[in-house]
Chains A and B, each alone.
Chain A
Amino acid sequence: KQEVTQIPAALSVPEGENLVLNCSFTDSAIYNLQWFRQDPGKGLTSLLLIQSSQREQTSGRLNASLDKSSGRSTLYIAASQPGDSATYLCAVRPGGYSTLTFGKGTMLLVSP
């Protein structure tokens, strides 16, 4: 059974810092990996999708990398801002499946 782990569970940083969120998964047979953002009481917003054949994807200040063989992905946030405060979720789409397996998330707080 695929399991997804996110470390750390919570992170507090001052504004302007560069930071890295980690995601690991137990079965490397995946179609793709997706990073989401969730604000309190809200739904999930897709940030980046990395296909299994790709190494990284970038969107603005966000960069996500994927090392499928080692079962790891990182989300890099450059020059963090208070508006980045949210819970970040990592999810993998196992090969042959149409749905996602989620990690429990990293709760990020960026202080002014």
Chain B
Amino acid sequence: NAGVTQTPKFQVLKTGQSMTLQCAQDMNHEYMSWYRQDPGMGLRLIHYSVGAGITDQGEVPNGYNVSRSTTEDFPLRLLSAAPSQTSVYFCASSPDSYQPQHFGDGTRLSIL
């Protein structure tokens, strides 16, 4: 099993550009989440999904969009990149609320 795979690992964007951060898991997990990690702020929830076709907002959803068309994939879209979105982004998955969350290795994103 590959676990949770995030691509790309690094990305530099210019302000106003759009892009999609990919997240895929091969464990047949229903629950998937996106977090961002910033110095001094810890990890904060952006969006999450409890199954294909079901998504909801987390603590810091503005500027981000998600969809969940399959169990395996949960892409995060930046609609119009801003310097404040410079961060490390982590995707996580779990089978249900009682099992551990598994994290990907992260995507390091810089917005110039």
Contacts and interface: CB of A to CB of B under 8 A. Distances in A.
Contacts of A102: 35, 42-44
B71 to A, nearest CB: 14
Interface string A81-96: 0000000010101000
Interface in B30-56: 31, 33, 35, 40-45, 48, 50
A31 interface: yes
B58 to A, nearest CB: 7
Given A99-B48, A99-B58, A42 B43 contact: no
Given A32-B98, A98-B31, A98-B50, A43 B43 contact: no
Interface stretch (B14-22, B62-70, B74-82, B103-111): B103-111
A109 interface: no
A45 B104 CA distance: 9
A34 B99 CA distance: 10
B104 to A, nearest CB: 6
Contact of B90 (A34, A43, A46): A43
B100 A46 contact: yes
Contacts of A97: 97
14 contacts: A31-B97, A34-B100, A34-B101, A43-B105, A46-B100, A46-B102, A89-B42, A98-B31, A98-B97, A99-B33, A99-B45, A100-B43, A102-B43, A104-B40
Interface of A: 31-32, 34, 36, 42-46, 49, 51, 89, 91, 93, 97-105
Top-6 shortest CB links A-B: A104-B42, A44-B103, A43-B105, A102-B43, A46-B100, A98-B31
